């Protein structure tokens, strides 16, 4: 009940922020882009690639665009979820109640994850609906790919929340995006066969790919599912699951440890 | 006996600076305890340590026998911080509902509790108003309302009169005395010495992180009664004669002066000295040392490096 009370307040707080609606609108543009499932009417390009390929590119751009902005939204919200309450002095009144600091973190972070997931779900279903209108059929590939991204967003939110306790809160989403991009970049050669011809990942890239949180793998798995590929052939799913679980635990415990040491 | 608050050898250091230095304090159940001190004495730090918002460098503290580190210790504690900050987008009622849920008040009882608290602080008519639109005084009342939610057994108030008008003062005093009569322990952290003097059973004076005096109001002053004289035409010969009589226990404030005498009959002699020296006595009365005077004397002496071997 205590966490639920915090979640209710947190949801209200998130929904009051204009950035939520602003980012939703930007993401919506990418959904509209997918609506036509067509790259456009530039003739010079359209005769070079077939209709299916064109659809695939449009779907891909839309998907990555939506995911990027959802990640941004989650990062911006998560970066201030604890720090703002501490800086503004709201936390001291709340924590003077019989509430553990772990519950406080959970109660503050969950609304951010809920709003981010909700944003992604709405966009995902709109994506589905437009696809249905174009293709005349429903495919489970779209919700499934967005489901993978929900996991990624939850991990990202946890990471930003953790980072915000160590670096200035405005820099946390920026640092998070850099890590995210780095993870995506190190995953590229594992998911794009054609790229392997041009780029054999060095040992450093391989190490980075192994050690960084698997944001990139999740994103490309999602994109592969969407385009009807077999994403799990390229990577070890168990390894990805373990990486995500370990990072989730590390981010949680470091956040809890740092927050418990904070004086309000 | 289980104390409402018990602190043992509490130390809080920020680098080399000791905000609290070996604090030993016990607050009895059911009493109103005043915690006094000048700015930066460490009063708020002590309160924050008790509520586990700040961590002590060493020492321990308990609330009703429970270690302060455990959230359970704060189950029956109401707290009003100095300069309370509340989510501005909530209405007063939503804010109180939020805290009711944090305390764990049964959902059936929440509405009744909120109504009672709002009635106690006179905020019933503005219950739906957003916190962000409240005046400082009303915000303070909202803070007091959240502190008294769920009838806490221990109420910790940090500068509760801040922002309140004289009516608010009186109502707060009435509320505190009413809560005390119901058995609530009240820990009052305040600068307003007259209010503390009127309401508190026991007092501790803190300066530079150390308790320099504590006890009941009557135990605090070791000076007994003094003669307060308001006279005109104060001169050197008068001062000399009175100093001989009071053994140099004379404090001169211009027109006012206080003389610490051991014998009440000497007041007649003082009157005679003033008149014979050409002065004119406007008033002459026996008074006890007020808390304000005591506070000023102790803190001033401490700051000047006196009282090295304090009691």
Distance from CA of A153 to the nearest CA of B (A): 27
If you measure CA to CA, which chain A residue comes closest to B158?
A93
In which residue are the tokens 């009557």 written?
B218
Q: How far apart are CA B82 and CA B221, in angstroms?
A: 28
Token digits of residue B268: 């007649």
Q: Residue range A69-94: average pLDDT?
A: 93
Q: How far apart are CA A217 and CA A222, in angstroms?
A: 8
- Do the chains contact at A97 and B85, CB–CB below 8 Å? no
- Do the chains contact at A92 and B99, CB–CB below 8 Å? no
- Looking at residue B3, what DSSP letter applies? -
Q: Are B163 and B195 in contact (CB under 8 A)?
A: no
| Out of A193-197, B124-128, B203-207, B277-281, least confident range | A193-197
What ipTM was assigned to the predicted interfaces of this complex? 0.83
Of B53, B77, B86, the CB nearest to A264: B53
Query: Does any CB of chain B come closer than 8 Å to the CB of residue A18?
Result: no
Q: Over pLDDT 70: what percentage of chain A?
A: 90
Q: Are B19 and B208 in contact (CB under 8 A)?
A: no
In whole numbers, what is the pLDDT of chain B averaged over residues?
86
Q: What is the pTM of this model?
A: 0.84
Residue B167: pLDDT band with limits 50, 70, 90: confident
Task: Give residues with Cβ within 8 angstroms of B291, minimum separation 6.
Answer: B36, B193, B194, B196, B197, B203, B217, B220
- Do the chains contact at A5 and B83, CB–CB below 8 Å? no
- Do the chains contact at B52 and A2, CB–CB below 8 Å? no
Q: How far apart are CA A49 and CA A43, in angstroms?
A: 10
Burial class (CB in 10 A: 0-12, 13-18, 19+), B115: middle
If you measure CA to CA, which chain A residue comes closest to B87?
A90
Q: How far apart are CA B275 and CA B284, in angstroms?
A: 13
Assign residue A210 a region (left: φ > 0; alpha: ψ between -120 and 50; beta: otherwise).
Answer: alpha
Between residues B156 and B293, which one has the greater pLDDT? B156
Q: Are B158 and B186 in contact (CB under 8 A)?
A: no
Q: Residue range A206-220: average pLDDT?
A: 90
Residue to mutate among B50, B71, B106, B130, with most A CBs inside 10 A, is B71
Backbone φ and ψ for B265, nearest 5 degrees, come out as -65, -20
Residue to mutate among B13, B102, B131, B142, with most A CBs inside 10 A, is B102
Query: Does any CB of chain B come closer than 8 Å to the CB of residue A13?
Result: yes
Per-residue pLDDT reduced to its tens digit, A156-209: 999 999 999 999 988 999 999 999 999 999 988 888 777 777 778 888 888 888
Per-residue pLDDT reduced to its tens digit, B242-256: 878 776 677 777 667
> Smallest Cα–Cα separation from B21: which of B48, B38, B45, B4?
B45
Residue B118: pLDDT band with limits 50, 70, 90: very high
Query: Does any CB of chain B come closer than 8 Å to the CB of residue A95?
Result: yes
Q: How far apart are CA A14 and CA A85, in angstroms?
A: 13
A44 pLDDT higher than 50: no
Per-residue pLDDT reduced to its tens digit, A111-123: 999 999 999 999 8
- Do the chains contact at B53 and A96, CB–CB below 8 Å? yes
Q: Taking the domains of chain A in order of start, what are their residue ranges?
A: 3-38+50-263
Of A2, A94, A263, the CB nearest to B54: A263
Query: Does any CB of chain B come closer than 8 Å to the CB of residue A106?
Result: no
Of B53, B73, B75, the CB nearest to A95: B53
Q: Are B292 and B282 in contact (CB under 8 A)?
A: no
Question: B86: which chain A residues are within 8 Å (Cβ-Cβ)?
Answer: 90, 93
């Amino acid at each position: 009940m205590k966490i639920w009370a915090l979640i209710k307040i947190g949801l209200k707080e998130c929904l009051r922020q204009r950035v939520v609606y602003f980012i939703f609108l930007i993401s919506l543009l990418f959904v509209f882009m997918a609506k036509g499932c067509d790259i456009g009417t530039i003739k010079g390009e359209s005769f070079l690639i077939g209709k299916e390929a064109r659809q695939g590119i449009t779907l891909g751009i839309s998907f990555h665009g939506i995911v990027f902005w959802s990640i941004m939204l989650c990062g911006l919200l998560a970066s201030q979820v604890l720090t703002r309450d501490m800086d503004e002095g709201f936390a001291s009144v709340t924590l003077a109640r019989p509430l553990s600091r772990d519950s406080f973190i959970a109660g503050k972070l969950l609304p951010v994850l809920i709003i981010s997931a909700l944003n992604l779900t709405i966009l995902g279903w709109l994506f589905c609906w437009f696809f249905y209108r174009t293709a005349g059929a429903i495919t489970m590939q779209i919700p499934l790919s967005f489901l993978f991204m929900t996991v990624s967003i939850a991990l990202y939110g946890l990471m930003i929340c953790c980072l915000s306790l160590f670096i200035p809160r405005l820099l946390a989403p920026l640092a998070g995006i850099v890590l995210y991009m780095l993870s995506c970049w190190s995953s590229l050669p594992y998911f794009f066969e054609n790229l392997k011809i041009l780029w054999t990942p060095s040992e450093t890239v391989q190490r980075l790919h192994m050690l960084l949180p698997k944001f990139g793998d999740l994103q490309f798995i999602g994109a592969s599912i969407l385009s009807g590929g077999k994403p799990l052939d390229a990577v070890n799913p168990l390894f990805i699951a373990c990486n995500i679980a370990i990072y989730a635990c590390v981010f949680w415990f470091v956040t809890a440890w740092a927050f418990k040491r904070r004086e309000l | 006996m289980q104390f409402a608050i018990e602190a043992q050898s509490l130390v809080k250091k920020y680098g080399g600076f000791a905000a609290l230095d070996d604090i030993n304090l016990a607050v009895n159940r059911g009493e109103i305890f005043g915690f006094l001190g000048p700015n930066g004495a460490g009063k708020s730090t002590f309160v924050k340590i008790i509520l586990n918002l700040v961590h002590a460098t060493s020492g321990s503290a308990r609330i009703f026998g429970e270690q302060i580190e455990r959230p359970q210790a704060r189950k029956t504690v109401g707290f009003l911080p100095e300069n309370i900050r509340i989510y501005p987008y909530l209405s007063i009622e939503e804010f109180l509902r939020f805290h009711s849920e944090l305390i764990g008040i049964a959902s059936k009882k929440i509405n009744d509790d909120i109504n009672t608290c709002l009635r106690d602080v006179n905020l019933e008519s503005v219950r739906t108003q957003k916190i962000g639109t409240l005046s400082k005084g009303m915000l303070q009342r909202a803070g007091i309302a959240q502190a008294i939610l769920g009838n806490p057994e221990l109420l910790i108030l940090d500068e509760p009169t801040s922002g309140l008008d004289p009516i608010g003062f009186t109502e707060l005093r009435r509320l505190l005395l009413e809560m005390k009569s119901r058995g609530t322990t009240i820990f009052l952290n305040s600068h307003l010495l007259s209010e503390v003097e009127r309401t508190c059973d026991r007092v501790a004076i803190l300066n530079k992180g150390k308790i320099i005096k504590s006890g009941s109001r009557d135990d605090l002053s070791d000076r007994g009664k003094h003669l307060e004289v308001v006279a005109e035409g104060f001169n050197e010969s008068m001062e000399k004669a009175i100093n001989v009589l009071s053994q140099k226990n004379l404090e001169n404030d211009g027109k006012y002066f206080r003389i610490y005498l051991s014998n009440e009959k000497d007041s007649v002699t003082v009157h005679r000295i003033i008149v014979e020296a050409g002065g004119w006595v406007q008033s002459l009365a026996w008074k006890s040392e007020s808390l304000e005077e005591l506070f000023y004397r102790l803190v001033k002496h401490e700051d000047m490096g006196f009282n090295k071997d304090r009691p």
